[in-house]
Chains A and B, each alone.
Chain A
Amino acid sequence: MSKYTLKEFGTQMMDGLFAKNPVLVQMLGMCSALAVTTSVTNALGMGLAMTAVLICSNIFISLLRHFIPKQIRIAAYIVIISGFVTAVQLLMQAFLNDLYKSLGLFIPLIVVNCIILARAESFASKQPVLPSAVDGLAMGVGYTFALTVLAAVRELLGAGTLCGVKIMPDAYEPAIIFILPSGAFLTLGFLIALMNKLMDVQKEHAAKKAAAVPAAEAAEPAEETANEESADESVETPEPQPAETEPAAQEPEQKKEEN
C-alpha cells in the first residue's frame, strides 16, 4: 500500500461532510437524526457518541478484514459494533449522565444504525486501517454536522434558544411545532431538498467549467447549453416558496442557509 496523502484525507473528509453525507445524501441513520435533534446539545452529544463508535468499529473491522469469514461477516460486525456501543454507553453513563439520560434509548440503538454497518460493509472491510479510521471520522463528522444544522433550526424556531441560551428576542413567539415530531420530519425534508438544490447548482457549475475549456473550438454549442441551464435554474428557484404550514418561519431560515 502506498503512502496516505493529505489530499486523500481532504477528499475523504469533504465526501463525508457533503457529497456522501450519511444523513442528507445517503439517507442513513434517520431514526436518531429525527429523534434527538430537539436541541443542539443533544445533537452534538449524539454526534460525538456516533463518531467514536464509527472510528473504533472501522479500525477494528479493517484490522480483522482478512480473518472474518465471508459467510458470517454481518454477525461478526454486529458483535464488534455492539461491544463498542456498550463501552460508549457505560462511559457516558459515568461521565455525562445528564446527556445520557436525555438521549435515552438512542445510545444503545447506535448498534442497529445503518450508517455503521454500511461503512463496515462497503469501506472498512476492504481498505487498510488508516483510510478506514479517516472514513469513520469523516462520516461521523458529516453525521454530526447534519444533526447540528437540523437541531439548530428546530431549537431556534421551536424554542428560541441555541444550546439552551436564549437567542430570539422576547417578541418572538416560539413555534412549538418544530420541537414536536412533525417538525422533525418537515425540517429534515426541507434540509434534504436544500442539499439537492445545492448539489444541482454545483453540478451545473462543474458542467459549465468543463464546457468552458473546449469553448475555444466549439464556442457556440457550449454557450447554448449553458444558457439553457441557467434559464432552467431561474424558473426553478421560485418554486419552493409556496411551501408549507409555517412558510413565514421556514422561509427566512432557508434563505439564511443558502447565503
Chain B
Amino acid sequence: MDYLVDILLLMLTAVLVENYIFSKFLGICPFLGVSEKPDTALGMGFAVMFVMTLSSAATWAVYYGILVPFHLEYLETIAFILIIAALVQFIEMFLRRFLPALYGALGIYLPLITTNCAVLGAALLNIQNGYDFVQSLAYGFSSAVGFTLAIVIFAGVRVRISLAEPPKSFRGVPIAMIAAGLIAMAFSGFSGMSF
C-alpha cells in the first residue's frame, strides 16, 4: 500500500512540482516549435507520452540488464540515445503497419522526438534517481503528462498573443518567452509543496 502511495506522489510531483518545461527546462525546443495551435500541441503531447513511457522501460531494462553486469555504465549516454532513436523508428513502422489511424495523428511528430531532450532526460533521471522498473514507468509517463499540460496551456496563451500587437522587437519568440515566464511563475507556486 505504501508503495502505491509513493508511486502516486512521485507522479504528482513529476506533473506539477517538477514540471519538465517550467522547472526543469527539458524539451524547450518542441515547446516553442509546435505550440502555435492547441490541437498540434496535444498531438505532440500524446506522441511524447507514448515514446517516453516506452523508452523509460527500454532504457531501464538495457541499463540494468546489459550495462551494469558488464560494468559499462559510462556508455549510458550513447546507449540510451541509440535505444531512443531505434525505438522511435520502430514505433513509427509499427503504427504505420497496424494502427494507421493513430499513425495519421502522431506520425509527423515522431521523428522530432528523437532529438527531444525530455525523452533522454527522463531516461537518465530514472537511473540517476535509482528508480525501480515500476517507478521508472510511472516517472516517464507522468513527466510526459506534465510536458503535455505545459505545452497545451502555452498553446492556448499563444493563440491569444497572436491577436495582440506587441512592440516590433518583441514579436514572435520574445513575447512567447515572456508569456512562458509568467506561466512558470504560476507553476513555481507548486514548489512549496513537498511530498
* A interface, CB within 8 angstroms of B: 27-28, 30-32, 34-35, 75, 78-79, 82-83, 85-86, 89-90, 105, 108-109, 111-114, 117, 177, 180-186, 188-190, 192-194, 196-197, 200, 236, 239-240, 244-245
Contacts and interface: CB of A to CB of B under 8 A. Distances in A.
A189 B181 contact: yes
Contact of B77 (A85, A189, A240): A85
B182 A182 contact: yes
B184 A182 contact: yes
Contacts of A83: 78
B30 to A, nearest CB: 10
Main secondary structure of the interface of B (DSSP, over half): helix
Contacts of B168: 196, 200, 236, 239
Given A108-B77, A112-B116, A117-B115, A190 B188 contact: no
Interface residues of B, number: 44
Main secondary structure of the interface of A (DSSP, over half): helix
17 contacts: A31-B117, A85-B77, A108-B120, A111-B120, A112-B115, A113-B117, A114-B115, A177-B185, A181-B25, A181-B188, A185-B181, A186-B177, A189-B170, A189-B173, A193-B170, A200-B169, A240-B169
A184 B173 contact: no
A184 B188 CA distance: 13
Contact of A75 (B85, B171, B173): B85
Given A112-B120, A181-B188, A196-B174, A34 B78 contact: no
B38 interface: no
The winner among B27, B74, B116, B170 for most chain A CB atoms within 10 A is B170
Interface in B26-73: 26-29, 32
A193 B179 CA distance: 13
